Structure 1
Amino acid sequence: MSDYFQEFVEINGIKQYFLHYPVDGKPVILFLHGGPGMSEAAFGYTLKEMFKDTCTLVFYDQRGAGRTLQNNPKAHPTLDFLLEDLHDTIKYLQTRYLTKKVIILGHSWGTVLGSIYALQHPENVSLYIGVGQVGDMQLTEKLAFLALKSKAMSENNSKDLKKLQALTNYPPKQWDSKSYKIYNKLSKLKDKYGLSMSVKVPLVRIVRKSPIQFKNRDFIAILKGTKLNEPLMIDVLNEFQLEAYGTEYKMPVCYIFGSDDYITPQQGFLDYFEKVIAPEKKIDLIENAGHYTMFEQPEAFARTVIPYIKEYALV
């Protein structure tokens, strides 16, 4: 018998894709994927292998991503829509699994949705875990840019260094489609210099082993999702600062960063973390890991996260 099941559920007016790895009588973890527009459901089985029978794991493709996008190509994502979707999703999980609260585990972009939701709806969240937590987008980009220049200099790559030195006003005070293209080019440079993923993980091989059978249309959805979410990403770059939503959490909060992550570097989050008020708060740095800590250092990730779940989660 399969240890997972898939379904489409009507959430906030559209049918959205869900992947469940249920374990009876265990706390429910809702995984919020990155992007925006980047489904991580195909990687879900690797977290199931890490957590074993510790919890029920639920993945869903957000509006504008993955199989939800395939099913609703005209449903454009906005921050408000995505937060409404998340609220309806949690209400659905409370009913399906007869639980009062869920654990939110956000990754990258998913930490934007997850942390806002935890602040606004503490009655529904027993524990918040942010992996590659987003705090201040402008500060994050500034730190990443400085790291890129330092890497190019240390490796004596004059061609890349010249390109970086020409960007005298990065990050820009006001983002638009033109500056967003620069952002994407710099993202490729981060990959080149190991500032996004420090351990070369065979992501394609991981996806191919997924039981949910990642197909060509799923790959196409990634490309479409990236384009569809561009206006949302520009809005986030211009406006998002987590502190504007508050610093007082009514549940324990835990943050995990990779030591070599310059997509969401830990240094850019420390000021906010100092201001956080919560019943318990923790921050962990996983060595020799970049932005995809759970895939780069799965054993270290599991050793970090599982104690949080056992200590703080509610069934």
Structure 2
Amino acid sequence: MKNFAFFLVTNLLFASVCHSTNNTKQSIDEELRIPVPSSELYVRIRGNADGALIVNLHGGPGGYSGIDIHLMGPGLEDRFLVAYLDQRGCGKSKDCNETTMLTVEQYVQDLDIVIDALLNQFNKEAVNLIGTSWGGMYGFLYLLHDQSKVNAFACVDGKVNSHYQNHSLIDYELNLIAKLLEDELSADRRNELQEIRGELSRIQDSDFEQFHTDVNRMKHEFPSKLGFNAYFADTSKIISLNDVLRDSALMALMNYTEKEYLQVGKKAEIVNEAFRNTPSYNNMNIEEELKKISVPVAVIQGEKDFVVGIDHARLIYNALKNLKEYEKELHILPHTGHCPAIENPEQLSTILFNFFEKRSL
């Protein structure tokens, strides 16, 4: 995320502007392509044109923003103007097969360009940020780069300390294996658990350099064999690829064809592997630097979020040492995992709405 001189003209691909029954409010829905170094990024702008501007940072690295229009848009767009950004190489943004451009530094630079473009086009003085999962760290990294353009930030199940995140999940799984091995088990089941324990110990002692395969095993393969889900407290709420493809209204809302949507996962894999096989990303820890943050922050996390570690939100909240108590909020959502927009959308929506409403007055 580097610095790139702004004076790049955004290329407006689609814009529909409609007036609601309330004549004082103008609702807009626009798609932008914003040039960044060696690429261009897709941004969907929806909501109240007169409202405070919120930039949504999806998770990953390698996620996409389209689903957030469905999950978080209904609670925000009536009052705020929300910009759903697809990060470099993700979603509807241009493909990126050049891994040297898939770096934390480049992503910070990209976001700076996007924010400048949006502030200029919509005549706003500052933006608000929502960052989910990786987007939570992304938002903090941007704030450490430049806080002057940001009014407030909501970090949803984000992380700031990769070592805490990685070891928290490994420790949980090792403790779970120890308890399971106390029971009477078949020889095959005992061997399976011991093999997983050996792999977790190997990962635990590694330097997390080539981490793409290992982290996927930790978050997906091992939990399924140990009887829990790292992402969801309620697995019945998981939204699958086929669920999305079969939902014609959702596909239309996101403005995806089936062919386009099937490319999202392929692009995500390229981006995620590039980041996850970068030692500096896997070992990133900005916890101590959070004392530099001076803009209001809401820290939100599901109580059953094993992906970032169940106490990561409290770690972040306590690290925001220069914020007064009325400038920061901590929300732990009950019976919720790593995806509160799916598992607990009403409570998340209320928290976000109230936080940004209060900060926009």
Instruction: Answer yes or no: same fold by TM over 0.5.
Output: yes
Equivalent-residue separation in structure 2 for 1:238 and 1:17 (angstroms): 26
Q: Shift of residue 222 of structure 1?
A: 1.9
1:2-151 pair list within 5 angstroms:
4-70=29-95, 72-74=96-98, 76-151=101-176
| 1:66 match: secondary structure | coil
The reply on whether 1:261 has 2:305 as its aligned counterpart is: yes
Q: What TM-score do the two structures reach when normalised by structure 1?
A: 0.89
Higher relative contact order (CA 8 A, sep 6+): 1
Cα RMSD, aligned residues only: 2.4
- Of stretches 267-276 and 13-22 in structure 1, the one that deviates more from structure 2 is 267-276
1:225 aligns to what? 268
Shift of 1:164: 3.0
Question: Secondary structure in 2 aligned to 1:123?
Answer: coil
Task: Look up the SS of the partner of 1:311 in the other structure.
Answer: helix
Computing the radius of gyration from Cα coordinates, the structure with the larger value is 2
Counterpart of 1:170 in structure 2 is: 203
For residue 306 of structure 1, report the CA deviation from its aligned partner.
Answer: 1.2
Q: Residue type matched to 1:242 in 2?
A: I
Q: Which residue does 1:274 correspond to in 2?
A: 318
Unmatched tracts of structure 2, length 5 or more: 1-15, 19-27, 184-188
Q: 1:98 to 1:191 in 2, by over 3 A?
A: farther
For 2:61 and 2:111, locate their aligned partners in 1 and report how far apart those are by CA, in whole Å.
Answer: 14
| Aligned with residue 183 of structure 1, among 204, 211, 215 | 215
Quick one: which amino acid aligns to residue 232 of structure 1? F
Distance 1:118 1:228, change over 3 A: closer
- Secondary structure of residue in 2 paired with 1:19: strand
Cα deviation code 1:225-275 (max 9, x no counterpart): 323432322334443101354422221011100111011124135344323
Output the amino acid matched with 2:92: R
Q: Distance in 2 between matches of 1:202 and 1:169?
A: 30
Q: Aligned AA for 1:187? A: K
Taking structure 2 as the reference length, the TM-score comes to 0.78
Structure 1, unmatched stretches of 5+, are none
What corresponds to 1:312 in structure 2? 359
Sort the Cα spacing of 1:158 and 1:26 in 2 relative to 1 into closer, same or farther, 3 A.
Answer: farther
**Structure 1 contact 191–197 (Cα < 8 Å) conserved:** no
Count of residues paired in the alignment = 312
Secondary structure of the residue that 2:287 maps to in structure 1? helix
For residues 165 and 233 of structure 1, what CA distance do their matches in structure 2 show? 22
State, as a whole percentage, how many aligned pairs show the same letter. Answer: 16
- How far apart, CA to CA, are the structure 2 residues paired with 1:139 and 1:4? 40
1:182 to partner: Cα distance: 1.9
Q: After TM superposition, which residue ranges in structure 1, 4 or more long, deviate above 6 angstroms?
A: none
